[in-house]
């Protein structure tokens, strides 16, 4: 399997321009491949990243492989070990990622910073000797702001944490954003004005003991504290979520959810106006589409 870059223009192209011919990324011809990503910094240069598949007999998480890129040219792949979040760009030339690294007392979660020339080094240990649950996520903007979110298992619940980094500073300490239930499908976006939105699926128990799945979000306007938790809608266990913040500050959350059987997939969306301190708009829901893939992961932990 290999990655083909369909288009990665560094300058504005006419609206009527066709997509470029696919370009196979050197080094991506591996037996199996997952989680391809592409991101561009303010300079116009970017990264194409992917996670190599599990080789036979492997017991550890596969390494991410990353290539620095301009519009259509690629360099020799840079293999980065023990990454649990794909490298992403911020500022004009900076790169950030999250890594499992040995720290005092065991393994910890560290935020590593670098540049598009390939230098990576630890910025701060975000979590020590903890069970990192769900897939951590990173987001940044061209101004140089960064947000890292992750969840930590604590008894029967997860603690959803967030740490922020502003230009010229280190990551701050992690703060608990949600402290109950089980957290999965975690995503974050950091707008150009400094607005931050987090969304995730939360699993809880009803009084009768049944699992309840909900899609939740929290929004932080620039220079303000996070608003309260908002439940955007229910889920049936399988969910895929994406978030974005427009340059105007309008926040978008879209997701699909399905129960893993033969029921159709529901596609949902919710928005929040640029300066509205209130809640997200009512969720728009479209019940259409094929069933979710059989291999999709359901948040069915007790």
Closest listed residue to residue 109, CA positions, set 128, 135, 87: 128
What is the rounded radius of gyration, in angstroms, for the C-alpha atoms of the chain? 19
> Among the residues of the chain, which ranges form H helices?
none
The residues, any chain, with a CB within 8 Å of residue 22's CB and separated by 6 or more, are 4, 5, 6
Give the model confidence (pLDDT) of 145-199 as tens digits: 999 999 888 888 888 999 999 998 999 988 998 988 899 889 999 999 999 999 9
56-87 tens-digit pLDDT? 444 444 455 555 444 344 565 666 666 778 78
Q: What letter would DSSP give residue 209?
A: S
pTM as predicted: 0.77
> Tokens 């129960």 belong to which residue?
259
Number of helical H runs and strand E runs in the chain: 0, 22
Which pLDDT does position 160 carry in this prediction? Answer: 92
The DSSP-derived string for 247-270 is: TTS-EEEEEEEE-SSSSPPEEEEE
Q: Which domains does the chain have, with CATH numbers?
A: 1-91 (no CATH), 131-302 (2.120.10.10)
How many angstroms separate the CA atoms of 10 and 6, rounded? Answer: 13
């Amino acid at each position: 399997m290999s990655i083909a870059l369909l288009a990665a223009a560094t300058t504005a192209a006419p609206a009527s321009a066709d997509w470029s011919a696919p370009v196979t990324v050197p080094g991506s011809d591996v037996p199996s491949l997952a989680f391809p990503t592409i991101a561009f910094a303010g300079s116009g240069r970017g990264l194409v990243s992917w996670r190599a598949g599990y080789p036979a007999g492997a017991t550890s998480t596969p390494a991410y492989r990353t290539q620095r890129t301009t519009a259509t040219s690629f360099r020799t792949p840079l293999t980065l070990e023990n990454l649990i979040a794909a490298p992403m760009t911020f500022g004009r030339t900076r790169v950030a990622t999250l890594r499992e690294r040995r720290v005092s007392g065991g393994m910890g979660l560290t935020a590593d910073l670098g540049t598009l020339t390939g230098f990576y080094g630890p910025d701060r240990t975000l979590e020590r000797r903890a069970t990192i649950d769900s897939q951590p996520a990173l987001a940044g903007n061209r101004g140089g702001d960064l947000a890292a979110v992750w969840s930590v298992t604590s008894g029967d619940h997860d603690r959803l944490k967030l740490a922020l980094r502003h230009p010229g500073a280190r990551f701050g300490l992690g703060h608990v954003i949600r402290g109950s239930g089980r957290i999965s499908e975690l995503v974050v976006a950091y707008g150009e004005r400094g607005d931050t939105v987090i969304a995730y699926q939360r699993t809880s128990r009803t009084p009768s003991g049944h699992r309840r799945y909900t899609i939740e979000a929290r929004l932080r306007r620039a220079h303000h504290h996070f608003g309260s938790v908002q439940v955007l809608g229910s889920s049936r266990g399988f969910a895929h979520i994406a978030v974005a913040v427009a340059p105007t500050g309008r926040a978008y959350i879209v997701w699909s959810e399905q129960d893993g059987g033969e029921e159709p997939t529901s596609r949902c969306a919710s928005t929040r106006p640029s300066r509205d301190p209130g809640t997200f708009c009512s969720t728009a829901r479209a019940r259409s589409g094929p069933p979710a893939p059989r291999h999709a992961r359901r948040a069915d932990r007790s």
